[in-house]
Chains A and B, each alone.
Chain A
Amino acid sequence: MSIAVRNLVKHYGTQKAVDDISFDVKTGEILGFLGPNGAGKTTTMKIITCYMPPSSGSVEVDGLDIFEKSLEVRRKIGYLPEMNPLYHDMNVLDYLEYSAQLHGLRGSAANHRIKEMVHVCGLEGVRHKDIGEMSKGYRQRVGLAQAMIHEPDVLILDEPTSGLDPNQIVEIRNLIKQLGRAKTVILSTHILSEVQATCNRVIIINEGKIVADGSPENLQREFHGAETLTLELKTGELDPLGLVAPKLRAIGSVNNVTLLSHRDGTVRFELTIDKGDDVREAIFRLAVTEGWIVLEMHRKATTLEEVFHKLTTT
């Protein structure tokens, strides 16, 4: 089940919420939508789910246009809106039954799916409880259960783990991962570790435009600048800048060596290294031949946080 978004534009008055976005999502992809608040994530999702029309551009879900085949598209999509709106006066089973019925499931087919969703989402204990009386974590599970009640091929989840405690977050992530193998999933979040944990593709949008698109690993590789390495050595040398630093600098792809601290022959350096090169082995061998003791050596890789920060604050 593929989603094809083409030149999507959405204006709210004079403000451009989404500005010419195009991307494709294929089956088995779990796409993470990243961006600061107001970047256009929710708007894009609302357009794909046929809630609101774009100002221009088109979206096709499994080759079906969201305008011409709106009902068919909606049949294929399971949607968890932002803020997870629910009917607070209904209990869990009634609500799931209502959702199933609206998807055309009746009788034993509906009952079977409701039972399965109650089990998958861990709602056994609260089946007869009113949604209004439940904690936010349980409500979120009910929201997920209603989104998946009709076995949709496409799942669109707007901040699925907001308001959950760390254990629940892990559960929901595993659930999404498991589902994502056979389905197409788009989820939005501002939690970057979530993207790293669940998604195999990331789209970062800022001010309505796509600023990065790729796997989390690729983005990290692509967008990190110079890498830095912290090194602590016991050399016994009293003049580390004159005697130790030049030897380190002689290693290929080490660009810069800065002295952080120096006490009693123990010295800390920060090394700047070319993008993508690993010099740790060379440093170890150098230390062996020079008789230095390596007390600490660690590499600071660029995190997705930094990529995100760099792309969304200019």
Chain B
Amino acid sequence: MIGLQNIGPIFRRELRSYFNSPVAYVVMVVFLVIIGWFFSSNMFLMNVASMRIVFEIVPLIFLFFVPAITMRLLAEEKKSGTLELLTTKPVRDVEIVLGKFFAAWTLLAAALAPTLLYFITLLSLGQIDIGPVVSGYLGLLLMGAVYIAIGIFASSITENQIVAFIVSFLIVLALFLMDKVLMYVPEAFASTLEFLAIDYHFSNIARGVIDTRNIIYFGSLLGFSLLLATVSLERRKW
């Protein structure tokens, strides 16, 4: 037994706390309204029946959406003092981080789920290549996971939720913009920078090409961010 049995209770509490407050519903509605607008304007104004627009817009929305759902995860507990209660129970810090991570990830998946309706609509209109859609959703979930882990880290360094939001937004924005500035950097760095950019790996997956390199990139970034969050939570013990 490695002792991760406390992830369950923490996960369930966090999830309930999301859905007991208006926060989850507000961010989900905003999320769906924005995607819905882009999807339907694309379909009815441009006459393009494609899921591609979803996979182009969602990564941009994630830049705001994920920091908004993760900012309170640890900052709020720090501020109200309940973190003291939690950390003086026989619970490992990594269990706290993982429980909260899975709760936020579930919320993110729940926000994405209604967009499957667009896919169903498209299916009824005609032939559509299912492969890239499946891998596109996989890519969104992986990207969201990395952002959430970063958001939890940002939430662990402060007791101010606004600061947590801004810090995680800046970090994910930097990851997102890395391959957008390639023309301004020396050529020697360009390929390295491109490989570090999250959008580069995401667009590979979204195109339907699931390469081990992309999976390893997301996996290692996710592991590193979760580790960083755990270490930052343990920092009170230094």
Contact = CB atoms under 8 A, between A and B. Distances in A.
- Chains A and B bind each other: yes
Interface of A: 46, 49-53, 71-72, 74-75, 77, 79, 81, 83, 85-90, 94, 98-99, 101-104, 146
22 contacts: A51-B87, A51-B236, A52-B236, A52-B237, A71-B92, A74-B89, A74-B90, A81-B84, A83-B81, A85-B84, A85-B85, A86-B82, A89-B20, A89-B21, A101-B6, A101-B8, A101-B9, A102-B6, A102-B86, A102-B89, A103-B89, A104-B5
B90 A75 contact: yes
A43 to B, nearest CB: 12
Q: For chain B, what secondary structure do more than half of its interface residues adopt (helix, strand, loop), or is it mixed?
A: helix
B88 A85 contact: no
B90 A85 contact: no
A104 B20 contact: no
Q: Max chain B CB contacts within 10 Å: which of A74, A85, A94?
A: A85
Contacts, number: 65
Closest 7 CB pairs of A and B: A85-B81, A101-B9, A74-B90, A49-B88, A102-B89, A75-B90, A85-B82
Interface in B1-39: 3, 5-6, 8-10, 13, 16-17, 20-21
For the side of the interface on B, what is the size category?
20 to 34
Q: Max chain A CB contacts within 10 Å: which of B16, B17, B84, B238?
A: B84
A36 B90 CA distance: 31
B69 to A, nearest CB: 16
Given A51-B87, A81-B84, 5 more contacts: A85-B85, A88-B80, A89-B17, A102-B10, A102-B90
Contact of A98 (B9, B84, B87): B9
Contact of A81 (B88, B92, B238): B88
Nearest to B82: A85
Nearest to B5: A104
Nearest to B92: A71
A81 B9 contact: no
Nearest to A72: B90
Contacts of B88: 49-51, 74, 77, 79, 81
Nearest to B236: A52
A225 B118 CA distance: 86
Q: Max chain B CB contacts within 10 Å: which of A52, A81, A98, A102?
A: A102
Contacts of A87: 13, 17, 82
Contacts of A81: 81, 84-85, 88
Nearest to B76: A87
Contacts of A94: 16
A83 B206 CA distance: 50
B90 A98 contact: no
B63 to A, nearest CB: 28
B91 interface: yes
Contacts of A77: 88
B86 to A, nearest CB: 8
A179 B25 CA distance: 45
A53 B238 CA distance: 7
A62 to B, nearest CB: 14
A94 B15 CA distance: 13
Interface in B126-143: none
Contacts of A83: 81
A49 B9 CA distance: 21
Contacts of B3: 71
Contact of A102 (B84, B91, B238): B91
Q: Max chain A CB contacts within 10 Å: which of B10, B21, B81?
A: B81
Interface in B45-99: 80-82, 84-92
B102 to A, nearest CB: 15
